[in-house]
Chains A and B, each alone.
Chain A
Amino acid sequence: MKKFLSVLLALGLAVSATACAGGASSSSEAASSEPEATPAAESEAATSEAAAATGEVMTYDEYMAAAVDEAVTIESCVQAKQSYYAEQGTATVYLQDEDGAYFAYDMACTQEEYDAMTEGTRIRVSGYKAEWSGEIEIMDGQLDEILEGDTYVAEPLDVTELLGTDELESHQNEKVKFTGLTVAPSTIEGDTTEYAFLYNYDGSGTQGDDVYFNVEYNGETYQFLVESYLCDSSTDVYKAVEALEIGQTIDCEGFLYWYEGVNPHITSVTVAG
C-alpha cells in the first residue's frame, strides 16, 4: 500500500509540475492577451451604429441633394480601396457608377468582404452624409451587401481644362485624369533646394509616407499627392513619383479628393516628355 501511495503521489507530483508549467504559461498569456485597447469589436459596433442609417437606396441625385448628417444608402461600384484597417474593421473606398462618384470613409466591413471587393464590384453602403474640410463623403458607413451582377469600372474623365475653375468641384471623388502637366518644383521651408516631390506636404516624412508633388498648368501650380494608404511605396505610381524630375511633362490619373480645395489622390503617373 505504501508503495502504491508513493507511486500515486509521485505521479501526482509529476503531473502537478507539468500542469504548473502549463498553468504559468496560460496565466501569463491570459494577462498579456488582455483586451487592452479597443477595436476588435469595432467593426461590430460601427455596424450597429450605421445600421440605423440603412434605408431605401438613393439615386446619385438624391444623395447629392441630401443634407449633411442625413442618413443615406447608395449602391455603386468600387473603383479603388485604401488598405484595410483591421483594428477597427473598416476600409475607405472610392465608389463610382454611371451617375456619379462617392467616397465612403472608414466603411465598416469584414476582412473577407474587403478581399471580395475588387475593381468594379457593386456594393450597397449605408451611412451618413458628411462634409469634412470640403470633402463630401459617407461617414460612419457600413457595407450592407456585395451585389451580384453588373460591375462597372469608370473611365477616367479628363478634367485638365477644369483645373482652377469652380466646375471642377462638381466632379469630386470621380476617377479623373490630367494631361500635359509640368512637374513644378517643391521646396522646404528654410531650404532653397528645389525638389520634384516631398515625403509629406512639407518634406517632414520619409519613404512610405504620402508623397506630394507640384504640377503646373496654364501658369498655375497645383499640389497632387499619392496617398500611401491607397498606393503604398511598393506601387508603380509611388515609384514613378519618386523618379520624377522637375520640368518633365506628365499625365496623371487618380481620384478627385477634396481637402480645403482640390487634393487629387493620384494612382498613375506617366512621363510624356
Chain B
Amino acid sequence: MKHRTRPAALLLAACMAGALLTGCHGSREQAAFTVPDSFDTSRDYEITFWAKNDTNKTQTDIYRQAIEDFQALYPNITVTLRLYTDYGDIYNDVITNISTGTTPNVCITYPDHIATYLTGDNVVVPLDGLFTDEKYGLGGSELAFDGPAQNEVMPRFLEECRLNGHYYALPYMRSTEACYVNKDMVESLGFTLPEDTLTWDFIWEVSEAAAATKGADGVYAVNGQEVLIPFLYKSTDNMMIQMLRQLNAGYSTASGDVQLFNDTTKDLLLDIAGHTASGAFSTFKISGYPANFLNAGQCIFAVDSTAGATWMGCGAPLVDIDPSEIVEFETAVYPVPQFDPAHPQMISQGPSVCIFNKEDPQEVLASWLFAQYLLTDEVQIAYSQTEGYVPVTEKARSTPEYQDYLSRAGEDDDDHYDIKIQAAQLLLDHPDDTFTTAVFNGSASLRNAAGQLIEDVTKGVRRGQTVDDAFIDQLYTDTAALYHLDSVAANGAAKADLGPLPGTAAALLAALAAAWACILAYVARQAVRARKKVKKE
C-alpha cells in the first residue's frame, strides 16, 4: 500500500513572515538587478533550485533530468536541487532564508507567496528586462537551447505572474480543479449526467438523493455500504472562491479590499450547511482524500485538482486504499460545478518559478537561464504528463509529441491513463474560462479564510451546532480576526497602530514649533520697529 502523507494545515506564517522580512531592511538589502550585457562563461556558478513535487517520483526524476540536460548545455553552471512536497514548507523556508540572505536562486512558488516576498526590497528579481533581453531573454539569440518566445507563453498564464505592474515569475505548469464522478451511481439513482457541464443544483440534487438511501441498518442502498459521502471537496478555499466568482459576488478587489464577508457568501454557507445536515457533503480536512472515497465506491462527486487525476478512478495508477476495497465503476470527468453552465468559470492554479536577487548579476543571469530552460518543450511535455497538468507554452502544446500523447488517452493505465488525460484536456478545452484571484500582501490569508468558512460551517453542523445567520455573523468576525483580515487595508498593507510618538519626533516638532514662533515674533517685532521708525520720521 502507498501512503500520501497527511499534510499539515497550510496556514502560512504571518507574523513570522512579517518579523523576518523586517530584517530585510537592513544590512542585507540588495541593489536592484540589472541585466548584464553578456553572460560571463569564463566563471563557474552554483545555483540552488527549490522545487515542489506532488509526492511523485516521476516528477522528481524530470527535475533531475532537466538539471542534467541544462548542465550539459552550460557546463559552468551547477544546479543543486532541493525537493519539497508542500508549497507551505517552501514558503516558510523562503521567508526564513530571506532574513539571512540565503534564499535559493530559483524557486517554485505561487504568486500569493511572491506578494509577501516582495515586502522585502529587491528580494525577488523583476523579470521584465530579462523577458525582452535580445540575447538572453525569452527566445533570445544567445540561448544554448530552444526556448519559447514571450508570445509563445500562454498570455493568460503569463499575466498571472504579474504583480504591481511587473513580471515576477514564469508560469511553470497549470492545472485547474475537476469533478470526478462515479457515473454508475448517478445513473443507478435515476439521473442522467449532462453532456458538458455539471450545475451545483444537479450535484446537490443527486447527492441528497444518494444520502436519502440510508436505511435503518445504516447501510446506503445506493452503494450497499455503511459509508457514503456523496459530494466531497478537497480544497474548500477553491470551492468558495469559484462559487463567488461564478455568481459575480465579492471576494476582494484588485488592490486588496476584502469583500469575502458578504450576503452571497452567507447564502452559500447556509446552503452548504443544509446539505451537510442531510449527509450529502463533506470535506477533505474533515473526512479524508476524495480519491480514497471515490475509488471505494463511497463518493459520487469528488472534486480535486486535475493535478491529482492519477489517483482518481478504479483504474488509477496511484492508490492509497487496499486494492480489495476498490470497486468497479465508470469515472466521468467534468469541470467544477457551475451556476451558469453557459459561462463556466474555473480556477487556474499550478506552480510558477521566481528568481531571487543576488549581489552578483551574473549569478542572477545564470538563474534566469535555468528558469527559462524549464519552459523548453522537453521539460514542459514530460512534466505535464506526470499528472493532469498542461504545458504553459503554445510551443510545447503544438508539438506532434504532445498531440500524440493527448490522442492516446486510455491506451493504458499509466502514461496514458484516460482520467489523467481527460483532466488535462478539460483545461485545454477552456482556455478562456479560467481565472485567478487578485494577488496582494494578505491574499494568501484571504484564500485560507474563504476555505475556513466552509470548514467551520460543515464542522458546526456535524457537531450539532445551530448554523444560522447569527452563527455566520460570528464566524465572519472570528475568521476576519483569525486571519488578520480586519487589519488589511485596501492596498494590501496593514492598518498598523504606530503607537505613541517617539521622543525624537516630539523634540523635533517642539523645536520646529519654537523656531517658527521665534521667527514670527522676530518678524512682528521688526514690523513694529519699522512702523515706529516711519512715524518718527
Chain B residues bordering chain A, tally (CB within 8 A): 80
Chain A, interface SS category: mixed
B18 close to A (CB within 8 Å): yes
Query: Distance (Å) between the CB of A146 and the closest chain B CB?
Result: 24
Q: Restricting to A86-121, which residues have a CB under 8 Å from any CB of B?
A: 86-88, 106
C-alpha spacing A28/B498, complex, angstroms:
12
Contact between B57 and A15 (Cβ–Cβ < 8 Å)? no
A11 to B116, CA, bound (A): 39
With A87-B92, A201-B55 already in contact, the answer to whether A34 and B522 are too (CB < 8 A) is no
Would A212 and B116 count as touching, CB distance under 8 A?
no
Q: CA separation between A71 and B289, bound complex, in Å? A: 24
B25 x A39 contact (CB < 8 A): no
Cβ-based interface call for B322 (8 A):
yes
Inter-chain contact A225/B483, CB cutoff 8 Å? no
Q: Cβ of B530 < 8 Å from any Cβ of A?
A: no
| Contact status B11-A225, CB under 8 Å | no
Stretch of B210-218, B373-381, B501-509 that contacts chain A: B501-509
A55 within 8 A of B: no
B360 to A: closest C-beta gap in Å: 24
Interface status of B144 (Cβ within 8 A of chain A)? no
Docked-complex contact B1 and A223, CB < 8 angstroms:
yes
CB-contact partner of B515 in A9, A85, A128, under 8 A = A9
Among B286, B292, B448, which residue has its beta carbon within 8 angstroms of that of A130? B286
Residues in B neighbouring A260, C-beta threshold 8 A: 1, 3, 292, 320-322
Closest to A4 in B: B518
Known contacts A32-B18, A202-B57; A38/B83 CB under 8 A: no
Q: Does B22 lie at the interface of the complex (its beta carbon under 8 Å from any beta carbon of A)?
A: yes
Q: Mark B44-65, 1 if CB is under 8 A from A, else 0.
A: 0000000001011111100000
A92 to chain B, nearest CB (A): 9
Interface: B12 (CB within 8 A): yes
Cβ–Cβ contact B511 & A87, under 8 A: no
| Contact indicator A8/B494 (Cβ below 8 Å) | no
Among residues 216 to 235 in chain A, which have CB atoms less than 8 Å away from a CB atom of chain B?
223, 225, 229
A37–B13 touching, CB < 8 Å: yes
Is there an interface contact between A45 and B494, defined as CB atoms closer than 8 Å? no
Chain B binder among A147-155, A170-178, A203-211, A247-255: A203-211
A65 contacts the other chain (Cβ, under 8 Å)?
A: no
A-B contact count (CB 8 A): 216
Interface residues of A in 65-90 (CB under 8 A from B): 69-71, 85-88
Closest CB-CB distance, B221 to chain A, in whole Å? 22
Of A18-26, A56-64, A237-245, the one contacting chain B is A18-26
Q: Cβ of B5 and Cβ of A41 under 8 Å apart?
A: no
Q: Are A204 and B504 in contact (CB under 8 A)?
A: no
Q: Is the beta-carbon distance between A36 and B82 smaller than 8 angstroms?
A: no
Cβ of A32 and Cβ of B25 under 8 Å apart? yes
A16 surroundings in chain B (CB, below 8 A) = 508, 512
Q: Is the CB of B2 within 8 A of A38?
A: no
Residues of chain A contacted by B57 (CB below 8 angstroms) = 188-190, 202-204
Known: A34-B493, A41-B482. A22 touches B504 (CB 8 A): yes
Instruction: Name the residue among A11, A36, A261 with the largest chain B CB count within 10 angstroms.
Output: A36
Contact B286 A35 (CB under 8 A): no
B462 lies within 8 A of A69 (CB): yes
Please determine whether A36 and B14 come into contact, CB atoms closer than 8 angstroms: yes
Contact in complex: B6, A48 (CB < 8 Å): no
The reply to whether the CB of B536 lies closer than 8 angstroms to some CB of chain A is no
- Please state if B494 and A30 are interface contacts (CB–CB under 8 Å): yes
A235 to chain B, nearest CB (A): 18
Of B116, B483, B487, chain A has the most CB atoms within 10 Å of the CB of: B483
Q: B12 — which chain A residues lie within 8 A by C-beta?
A: 36-39, 87
Contact present for B25 and A25 (CB under 8 Å): yes
Known contacts A37-B14, A204-B53; A133 and B119 CB within 8 A of each other: no
In the complex, are the beta carbons of A36 and B8 less than 8 A apart? no
Contact of B502 among A22, A30, A37 (CB under 8 A): A22
Judging by beta carbons under 8 Å apart, are A34 and B494 in contact? yes
B121 contacts which chain A residues (CB < 8 A)?
28
Known contacts A11-B511, A86-B16, A260-B321; A34 and B119 CB within 8 A of each other:
yes
Contacting residue for A206 out of B83, B448, B483, CB 8 A:
B83
Among A33, A38, A212, A259, contact of B483 (Cβ-Cβ < 8 Å): A38
Contact residues in A for B465 (Cβ distance below 8 Å):
52
Asked if A272 CB lies within 8 Å of chain B CBs, one says no
With a cutoff of 8 Å between Cβ atoms, the chain B residues found around residue A12 in the complex are 508, 511-512, 515
**Measured between alpha carbons, how far is A74 from B263 in the docked complex, in Å?**
39
Residues in B neighbouring A39, C-beta threshold 8 A: 11-15, 482
Is A29 an interface residue, CB under 8 A from the partner? yes
Say whether B515 contacts A132, CB under 8 Å: no
A12-B508, A32-B119, A204-B59 are known contacts. Are A1 and B522 too (CB-CB below 8 A)?
yes
In the bound complex, residues from chain A placing their C-beta under 8 Å from that of B17 are 36-37
CB of B505 within 8 A of CB of A33, answer no
CB neighbors of A among B106-156 (8 A): 115-116, 119-121
Name the B residues within 8 Å of A87 (CB-CB). Answer: 11-14, 16, 92
**A144 located at the interface, meaning its Cβ lies under 8 Å from any Cβ of chain B in the complex:** no
Please, which residue of chain B has its CB at the minimum distance from the CB of A1?
A: B522
Asked if A268 is at the interface (CB within 8 A of a chain B CB), the reply is: no
- Closest chain A CB from B131 CB (angstroms): 27
B366 to chain A, nearest CB (A): 23
Given A12-B515, A22-B504, A200-B55, do A35 and B462 touch, yes or no (CB 8 Å)? no
Tell me whether A38 and B11 are in contact in the complex, defined as CB-CB below 8 angstroms, given that A16-B508, A29-B22, A205-B83 are known contacts.
yes
CB-CB < 8 A to B15: which residues of A?
Answer: 33, 35, 37, 39-40
- B445 contact from A1, A38, A210, A259, Cβ within 8 A: A38
Q: In the complex, A212 Cα to B2 Cα: how many Å?
A: 10
Which B residues lie within 8 Å of A15 (CB)? 504, 507-508, 511
Give B288's nearest chain A residue, CB to CB. A133
Q: B484 contacts A33, CB within 8 Å?
A: no
Q: Chain B residues near A36: list those with CB within 8 A.
A: 12, 14, 17-18, 115-116, 119, 441-442, 444-445, 484
B13 to chain A, nearest CB (A): 4
Residue of B nearest to A31 (CB): B493
B478 at the interface (CB under 8 A from A): yes
A263: Cβ under 8 A from any B Cβ? yes
A16 to B21, alpha carbons, bound, how many Å?
Answer: 27
Within 8 A of A (CB), among B441-487: 441-442, 444-445, 448, 456, 459, 462-465, 478, 481-484, 487
- With beta carbons under 8 angstroms apart, the residue of B442, B482, B514 that contacts A8 is B514
Is B73 at the interface (CB under 8 A from chain A)? Answer: no
Sample of 8 more A-B contacts, CB < 8 Å, known A32-B21, A32-B119, A45-B478? A8-B518, A16-B512, A32-B22, A36-B17, A37-B15, A69-B459, A87-B14, A140-B459
Q: What are 20 contact pairs spanning A and B, CB under 8 A? A: A12-B508, A12-B512, A23-B505, A32-B25, A33-B18, A33-B496, A36-B119, A36-B441, A37-B444, A38-B445, A39-B11, A39-B14, A45-B481, A71-B463, A87-B12, A189-B57, A190-B58, A202-B56, A260-B292, A260-B322
Residues of A within 8 A of B (CB): 1-2, 4-5, 8-9, 11-12, 15-16, 18-19, 22-23, 25-26, 28-42, 44-45, 48-49, 52, 69-71, 85-88, 106, 128, 130, 132-133, 140, 188-190, 200-206, 209-210, 212, 223, 225, 229, 259-261, 263
The 3 closest A-B pairs by CB, nearest first: A37-B14, A37-B12, A34-B494
